[in-house]
Amino acid sequence: MTRIFLAVGLITSILFSAACVQKGGNETATNTGDTIRVGVFADLSGTTASFGQSTKNGIELAVEEINNSGGVLGKKIQLFVEDDQGRPEQAKTVVSKLINQDKVQAVLGEVASTNSLAAAPVAQEAKIPMISPSSTNPKVTEVGDYIFRVCFIDPFQGAVMAKYAANNLNAKTAAIFGDVQSDYSKGLSAVFKQEFTKLGGRIVSEQSYAQTDPDFKGQLTAIRATNPDVIYVPGYYGQVGIIAKQARELGMNMPLMGGDGWDSPDLWKLGGEALKNTYISNHYSADNPAPQIQNFVKAYQAKFGAKPDSLAALAYDSAKVLADSLKRAGSADPQKLRDAIAQTNNFDGITGKITINAERNAVKPAVVLELDPSKAGFNYKETIYPEGMSAPTADTNTNANSSMNMNAMTSGNMNSNMNTSMNSNAMDSNTMNSNAR
Amino acid sequence: MDTFVQQLINGLTIGSIYALIALGYTMVYGILRLINFAHGDVFMVGAYAGYMLAIHLGFASSPSIIGFVVVLFGSMIIAAVIGMLIERLAYRPVRKYSRMTTLITAIGMSLFLEYIFVVIFSGTPRAFPQLLPSDNYTLFGNATINTSQLLIFVVSILLMLGLQYIIFKTKIGKAMRAVSFNLNSAKLMGVNTDFVIAFTFGLGSALAAAGGVLVAQYNPKIEPLMGLLIGLKAFVAAVLGGIGNIPGAVLGGLLIGAAETLVVGYGQYIGIPSTYRDAVAFAILILVLLIRPAGLLGSNVQEKV
**pLDDT classification of A413: cutoffs 50, 70, 90:** very low
Nearest CA in chain A to B215: A214
| pLDDT profile of chain B (305 residues), mean per 10 | 87 92 90 89 95 88 86 95 94 88 92 92 85 82 85 91 92 92 90 93 94 91 90 91 88 92 84 80 86 78 50
Q: In Å, what is the CA distance from B144 to each residue of A400, B14, B134, B147?
A: 39, 15, 13, 10
Interface contact B146-A86, CB threshold 8 A: no
- The interface pTM score, or ipTM, of the predicted complex is 0.83
Mean pLDDT across the stretch A366-388? Answer: 86
Query: A103-129: per-residue pLDDT in tens?
Result: 999 999 899 999 999 999 999 999 999
- Percent of the residues in chain A that have a pLDDT greater than 90, as a whole number: 55
Dist. CA A24–CA A100, nearest whole Å: 10
Nearest CA in chain A to B128: A270
327-356 in chain A: CB under 8 A from chain B: none
* Cβ–Cβ contact A36 with B under 8 A: no
Query: A25-76: per-residue pLDDT in tens?
Result: 334 433 456 899 999 999 998 888 889 999 999 999 999 999 999 889 889 9
Instruction: Supply the pLDDT for residue B294.
Output: 84
Dist. CA B234–CA A163, nearest whole Å: 44
Instruction: Supply the pLDDT for residue A389.
Output: 63
Instruction: Supply the pLDDT for residue B277.
Output: 82
Which residue from B123, B218, B275 is facing A46, i.e. has the nearest CB?
A: B123
Instruction: Supply the pLDDT for residue A375.
Output: 85
Interface contact A218-B13, CB threshold 8 A: no
Instruction: Supply the pLDDT for residue A412.
Output: 33
- What is the CB neighbour count within 10 angstroms for residue B230? 23
Please give the mean pLDDT across all residues of chain A: 82
* Cβ–Cβ contact B10 with A under 8 A: yes
Interface contact B14-A214, CB threshold 8 A: yes
More confident residue, B122 or A167: A167
- State the nearest Cα–Cα gap between B43 and chain A, in angstroms: 13
Nearest CA in chain A to B13: A215
Instruction: Supply the pLDDT for residue B123.
Output: 80
Residue A138: half-sphere exposure toward Cβ, Cα within 13 Å: 14
Mutate to test the interface with A, among B261, B263, B274 (most CBs of A within 10 A): B274
More confident residue, A402 or B55: B55
Interface contact B10-A215, CB threshold 8 A: yes
Mean pLDDT across the stretch A216-227? Answer: 91
Instruction: Supply the pLDDT for residue A363.
Output: 87
Instruction: Supply angle C-alpha A138, A200, A137, rounded to 5.
Output: 10
3-state secondary structure chain A: CHHHHHHHHHHHHHHHHHHHHHHHHHHHHHHCCCEEEEEEEECCCCCCHHHHHHHHHHHHHHHHHHHHCCCECCEEEEEEEEECCCCHHHHHHHHHHHHHCCCCCEEECCCCHHHHHHHHHHHHHHCCCEEECCCCCCHHHHCCCCEEECCCCHHHHHHHHHHHHHHHCCCCEEEEEEECCCHHHHHHHHHHHHHHHHCCCEEEEEEEECCCCCCCHHHHHHHHCCCCCEEECCCCHHHHHHHHHHHHHCCCCCCEEECHHHCCHHHHHHHHHHHCCEEEEECCCCCCCCHHHHHHHHHHHHHHCCCCCHHHHHHHHHHHHHHHHHHHHCCCCHHHHHHHHHCCCCEEECCEEECECCCCCECCCEEEEEEEHHHCEEEEEEEECCCCCCCCCCCCCCCCCHHHHHHHHHHCCCCHHHHCCCCCCHHHHHHHHHHHC
Nearest CA in chain B to A177: B274
59-98 in chain A: CB under 8 A from chain B: 85-86
Dist. CA A373–CA A387, nearest whole Å: 32
The sign of the CA dihedral B128, B134, B139, B142 is: positive
- Amino acid identity of residue A278, one-letter, is T
Instruction: Supply the pLDDT for residue B255.
Output: 93
- Percent of the residues in chain A that have a pLDDT greater than 70, as a whole number: 81
Q: Examine the pLDDT at A132 and tell me if it is beyond 80.
A: yes
Dist. CA A345–CA A340, nearest whole Å: 10
* Cβ–Cβ contact A215 with B under 8 A: yes
A222 contact residues in B (CB cutoff 8 A): 3, 7, 264-266, 268, 274
- State the nearest Cα–Cα gap between B75 and chain A, in angstroms: 20
Q: Examine the pLDDT at A16 and tell me if it is beyond 70.
A: no
